[in-house]
Amino acid sequence: MDANSRFLVRSFRRYYRNNRPIMPSRFGRREFGFMFFDKTFVQRHTAYSRNDDLHRFLVTQVPAHCYYSTAYYRNPAAPTMEEKGWLGADLIFDLDADHLKGAESMSYETMLAKVKEEMIRLVDDFLFGDLGFSVDEVDIVFSGGRGYHAHVSKESVQGLGSAERREIVDYVTGTGLDMDWAFPRHHIVTSQSPDGRRANISEDRLIPRTEDGGWKRRMRHGLEALLDDASGLDLKEFRTKYPSVANFKNDRLGKLMNELASSQKSILARNTLAPLSTKKVQEAVLSIMENDVRPALSGEVDEPVTADIKRLIRLPGSIHGKSGLRVTPLTRDQLTDFDPLVHAVPPEYGQEPMLLSMRRDLEVVFKGERYRLSGQTEAPEDLAVFLVGRKMADVSRTLDEEVIKS
């Protein structure tokens, strides 16, 4: 085990000595798994019937990562999945900064703030909103890394298979949303021959009504925003927000925006796109709604995690080995003001100055303080754990080995 790993083990052990694990519901029916600093495999197929036994394991073995199964089993410690005897599984939603557009160019702090915004939208709009779960039925957890988990352990969802769970993901993400359903075709007779045998029929599109729910309500709000933007944004801003019209020439785009702005009141009052001058203009609006508005209104979620009925997920109260941050359970109210780089830093790490070698120059805000670090430098232990865990720094070779012994 190298000096970096010994330092992290020392700090993690101090945390585990003072903190008992947070056991999930029905933990005796769950499988537990662990990864270690000096091993390349996952140790799994273990089970615990007592909190004390798991606590003792964490203190003595000091894993880098701790997991438990979202599934319940008859025999969770059995060596094969077939022998375990699946009984059901919690419904899990996982949001990670990796899924954010442009994440590669964001700072760690910016990624954390952005993914928290997405988590708030997921739980408020979809889990508590459209899907109707109560606050007591959804457990929110900061992953300790770059994202959040939402756990639904309600009995009615535990028996859902992978296919049903994927349908829930499709609903949250708006995958396959049919524009003919959201904006149904509407035909009216505009004129008729004297004998009634021939008629001229006009086609337009109805828009969702104010009293509609779910994705229809969401699309109406998106259309309202589009109509507002037609009069409130300039051409460049409009193109940036609605990329599907990015190739429109200025004259064409200007005419479209002017028509949307002038027709706004009539469209919303009549609940139809009929006030637009041509079918081609209506089609342009529908293209914007499908390609730009729908993705912006959808919820972010990692489909494989939600669909997996035998997933291992991070244990609340454990430490994330690649950040040193605590996997932190949160209420919905706590989520609003939660700052991982303040509230997920274990106080057990302390403030003892540590000598580090930075792998690259770095500016970071940690526990409300801004640090500019480069070369050979000092940092308080809690920040050092974070930097070493994220492989941004190394414990200096000149540091006394007694300080980092395990």
> Which residue in 183, 111, 143 sits closest to 316, CA to CA?
143
Pairing of strands 91-96, 147-152: antiparallel
Sign of the alpha-carbon torsion through 96, 98, 102, 108: positive
pLDDT of amino acid 176: 92
What are the φ/ψ torsions at residue 93 (nearest 5 degrees)? -120, 125
How far apart CA 87 and CA 157 sit, in angstroms, is 12
**Which member of 90, 96, 204, 308 is catalytic?**
96
Residues 395, 378 within the same domain: yes
Structure tokens of 227? Answer: 């109509």
94 part of the active site: yes
Do 36 and 85 have their domain in common? yes
Q: Is the pTM of this model over 0.75?
A: yes
According to the model, what pLDDT value does residue 404 have?
A: 46
Give the per-residue pLDDT at 397.
57
Same domain, 25 and 161: yes
What is the per-residue pLDDT for 229?
A: 97
Please list the ranges in the chain whose pLDDT falls under 70: 188-193, 195-201, 397-406
Is 361 designated active site? no
Whether 96 is a known active-site residue: answer yes
> Looking at 90, 94, 308, 382, which residue is catalytic?
94
pLDDT tens digits for 181-206? 999 998 765 556 676 666 566 778 99
**Do residues 149 and 26 both lie within one domain?**
yes
Q: What is the pLDDT of residue 90?
A: 97
Q: Are residues 324 and 237 in the same domain?
A: no
Q: Measured between alpha carbons, how far is 64 from 9 in angstroms, rounded to an integer? A: 8
Whether residue 293 is found in the same domain as residue 235: yes
- Number of neighbours of residue 13 by Cβ within 10 angstroms: 17
**Last residue within a domain, chosen from 297, 326, 361:** 297
Q: Which of 90, 204, 292, 302 is catalytic?
A: 302
